[in-house]
Amino acid sequence: MKVTLVQMNSLGDKAANLASARALIEHAVRQERPDWICLPEVFDFIGGTREEKIAAAEEFPGGPAYSLCQELARKHQVFIHAGSVIEKISGEERLHNTSVAFDRAGAEVARYRKIHMFDITAPDGAKYHESASFKPGEAVVTYDCEGLTIGCAICYDLRFPYLFQALADKGVDLVALPSAFTLVTGKDHWEVLCRARAIELQAYLCAPAQTGAHKAGHETRFTYGNSLIADPWGHVVAKASEGVGLTSTHIDLERIRKVRSMIPVAKHKVKLPA
């Protein structure tokens, strides 16, 4: 199976972001001919004020970002893992940060809501308070992609190995990690964490990311980019250049089996005392 990651520089303009996503998916289909395409976190809208986020949010099914990915999956007969989209919650002021996956017929096959909220003060002093606008999800989500079990995570989830252990317990072969990692944390932590999770899972880790600058209120913030695919041995087998673009590789099921047979960690798990 061939997979393609889409690296974007989304902004606080939903229509422009969706036009960019459409163009990049169409380009990926023409150039790479993948079986599975994954977009980055909040590809539909990033930054802006809380009010602008609420205005940009959509209900599922339907909504412009949802419908775009569904349409293109059906048109090109390709799986599309729609990064994440800002989802409205009925009766709530907060929102969900939600991944939706579509099969080759455009049918929804998975919906994952980001569990871990990015509430930190970064080394450069920038304050992030994701939980002020977003409500965390609770479910561990996987789906079948023609015999490949794909697990779902989003960005900050990367720092919580117990989530990835839960995905390992569900037998994942690949984890999709759409992200918008900050520049200041990404330059030190992004690749090492992606490789570590792939090694722990003995599975592929596919991490499409946002790149470049965007406005968040009166601040200009920078995302790290460097979308990458790590294999089950922790090798980075594909990586995006700077700027908007694509990166692709083939998923090798025999590679997964070989790594798991060499170091059979699943058989060596023990139940620790409380």
> Does residue 242 carry a catalytic annotation?
no
- In whole angstroms, what is the distance from residue 178 CA to residue 273 CA? 35
Phi, psi of 120 (to 5 degrees): -140, 165
- In whole angstroms, what is the distance from residue 234 CA to residue 198 CA? 6
Query: Sign of torsion, CA 232 233 234 237?
Result: negative
- In whole angstroms, what is the distance from residue 62 CA to residue 59 CA? 6
> Does residue 155 carry a catalytic annotation?
yes
Which of the residues 53, 114, 152, 206 is marked catalytic? 114
Which of the residues 38, 145, 155, 194 is marked catalytic? 155
Which of the residues 14, 38, 41, 194 is marked catalytic? 41
> Does residue 114 carry a catalytic annotation?
yes
| Secondary structure in 3-state letters for 222-271 | EEECCCEEECCCCCEEEECCCCCEEEEEECCHHHHHHHHHHCCHHHHCCC
Q: Which residues contact 196 (CB under 8 A, 6 or more apart)?
A: 234
Q: Which residues are known catalytic residues?
A: 41, 114, 155
